[in-house]
Structure 1
Amino acid sequence: MTLALLETNLATTFVTSETGRIVSEDEPGLPPGPRLYLAGCRYGTRVRLRHDVDDETARIIEALVAREGPWVDPATDPACLAEMLARLTPVESVSRSILYRLPHGLTQEAGATILRGDTAEGRAWLARLAESGMPQHLLDAGFLGAGDFWEPWCVALEEETIAAMAFAARIGQQAAEVGVYTFPGFRGRGLAAAVTAAWSGLAELVDRPLFYSTSVTNLSSQRVAARLGLPVFGAAMRVT
């Protein structure tokens, strides 16, 4: 069951070719994916190579991964990491993340008004925002317009100020992954957990497995997962 969940997560993370190569990230704008992506759980490990990695290198790396046991701990290196990196030289970066399963219909005390994008109220609010222009604190965080509210979404409002938001970082027919952002000045108050919980209850998501992931260095995001009691099901590594 967990290995199937890992494969569903992989299918939601990337756009792939017919041969299983990474073409791009499966998110708005379709940015290029990593040259290598490794995902593991206690039932097994899966590797994906980008389309521009030559076939011989891809075969060697796939064989290295296949002969090893499951990689489950993002705090430790897979035994074959050094050999994989040598095949991919030059390497710019290696990053690791924790994969969580996000149950549907979580509840969490908000301490703020939660506005959902799938309601008439939410749609009217977003239309007003698009007409009046993005507040400066959203622009400072890189949100350029209403199109950056990737559907489905929900926000936490302090009076009329957006304090935190949850949105579909990735969504496909098989599954969806939440993206969460709390704006400076509102952090440390549990709002990220509140909007994540609200997002998990959106009607559009009810038939899809839901995921939450975070870098091993992002302790605040890990605290959100802990506050919500999210179960860890795997680990991932990106090589660029």
Structure 2
Amino acid sequence: MGVAADGMTAAVRHDVPGALTARLLDLVARGDPSTPCQPPEVLEQCRVLLGETTTVSSGPCYLIPPSPVPFDAPAAGVLRSDDPAHAERVRSLRPCTWARDEWDDLLDGRDGAPWAMVVADDQVAAICHTARLTTAGAEAGVWTAPAFRGRGLAAATTATWADLLPGTRLFYSTSADNHSSQRVAARLGLRAIGWLWKLTR
């Protein structure tokens, strides 16, 4: 559920039964938005419909401007998916958080492209890839290896990723408790546009 000052919207997974989907979307359509960080009243109604075992998570959503605040790239530079040599450079450096087939799909442009990465000490230190891509826009997916956090690598890869998608509406979202990710948004001068609420059962 996306909540902004001027309204709400929602999306439901494809495997949720049709009647339940219709009830959830109708509730959201008739609900009133809330202020950031505060759950809208309709959220609890949706949670009850989904069942007592439903968990709720949330966080801010940002709009990435066409030209994010310039951020100095690390000395090694940022690798980009539009250079085939860069994909081969990182093929053998798959982070343990990525399954082998997912990594190959990313590097071969089948899923998650475009992307930007930083390599340091012969390992992938940071990645920004395309977590979602539709005709309405794209969402950044950002990951930084624990040993390299706090060095500005997430901001550098996100700014490079944004350059790879000219003319596309770009979004960046994170969880409420991920303060380091929120600092990335601040470093890049991203504009907060709302709050995302996710219900999972």
Instruction: Give the TM-score taking structure 1 as reference length.
Output: 0.71
Q: Is residue 162 from structure 1 mapped to residue 121 from structure 2 by the alignment?
A: no
Matches within 5 A, 1:188-203: 188-202=150-164
Equivalent residue for 1:84, pick from 46, 50, 61:
46
Seen in structure 2, the aligned counterparts of structure 1 residues 128 and 116 have a Cα distance that, compared at 3 Å, is closer
Residue aligning to 1:141: 97
Partner of 1:184: 146
CA drift of 1:108 comes to 0.3
Question: Which of residues 12, 17, 36 is equivalent to 1:53?
Answer: 17
Distance 2:106 2:21 in 1: 35
CA distance in 2, matches of 1:171, 1:220: 24
The answer to whether the Cα contact below 8 Å between 2:93 and 2:124 also exists between their aligned partners in 1 is no
Aligned to 1:109: 72
Q: Percent identity?
A: 36
Residue 98 of structure 1 aligns to which amino acid in structure 2? P
- The answer on 1:127 being equivalent to 2:88 is yes
CA contact (8 A) 1:105 1:198 kept: no
1:4 corresponding residue in structure 2? none
- Residue 100 of structure 1 contacts residue 234 of structure 1 at CA under 8 Å; is this kept in 2? yes
Over 3 Å counting, the alpha-carbon distance change for 1:93 and 1:211 in structure 2 is same
Separation in 2, partners of 1:62, 1:173: 21
Structure 1: which amino acid aligns with 2:186?
A
Within the candidate set 176, 179, 183, 1:216 is matched to 176
Match of 1:100 among 57, 62, 72: 62
Q: Which amino acid aligns with 2:98?
A: G
Deviation of 1:70 (Å): 1.8
Deviations 1:57-94 (A, max 9, x none): 44444443334322341x21211232222222143311
> 1-side partners of 2:142 and 2:62: how far apart?
14
SS in 1 for 2:154: helix
Pair 129,110 (structure 1): closer, same or farther in 2 beyond 3 Å? closer
**Superposition deviation, residue 54 in structure 1:** 4.8
* Matched residue SS, 1:80: helix
Distance 1:126 1:59 in 2: 43
Query: Are the structure 2 counterparts of residues 82 and 154 from structure 1 closer, same or farther at C-alpha, using a change threshold of 3 Å?
Result: closer
Contact 2:93–2:123, Cα closer than 8 Å, also in 1? no
Q: Report the AA paired with residue 8 of structure 2.
A: T
Shift of 1:48: 3.0
Instruction: Give ranges in structure 1 of 5+ residues lacking alignment.
Output: 1-37
SS of residue in 1 equivalent to 2:60: strand
What is the aligned residue count? Answer: 191
CA 1:142–1:42: 2 relative to 1, 3 Å: same
How far apart, in 1, do the equivalents of 2:31 and 2:63 lie?
Answer: 25
- The answer (yes or no) to whether the contact 2:80–2:86 under 8 Å persists in 1 is no
Instruction: From 174, 192, 197, give the equivalent of 2:136.
Output: 174
Name which of 61, 64, 72 aligns with 2:27: 64
Q: Residues 45 and 153 (structure 1 numbering): CA distance in 2 closer, same or farther, change over 3 Å? A: same
SS at match of 2:135: coil
Confirm or deny: 8 A CA contact 1:167 1:178 kept in the other structure. yes
Tell me: CA distance 1:84–1:195, structure 2 relative to 1, closer, same or farther (3 Å).
same
How much has 1:110 moved relative to structure 2?
2.1
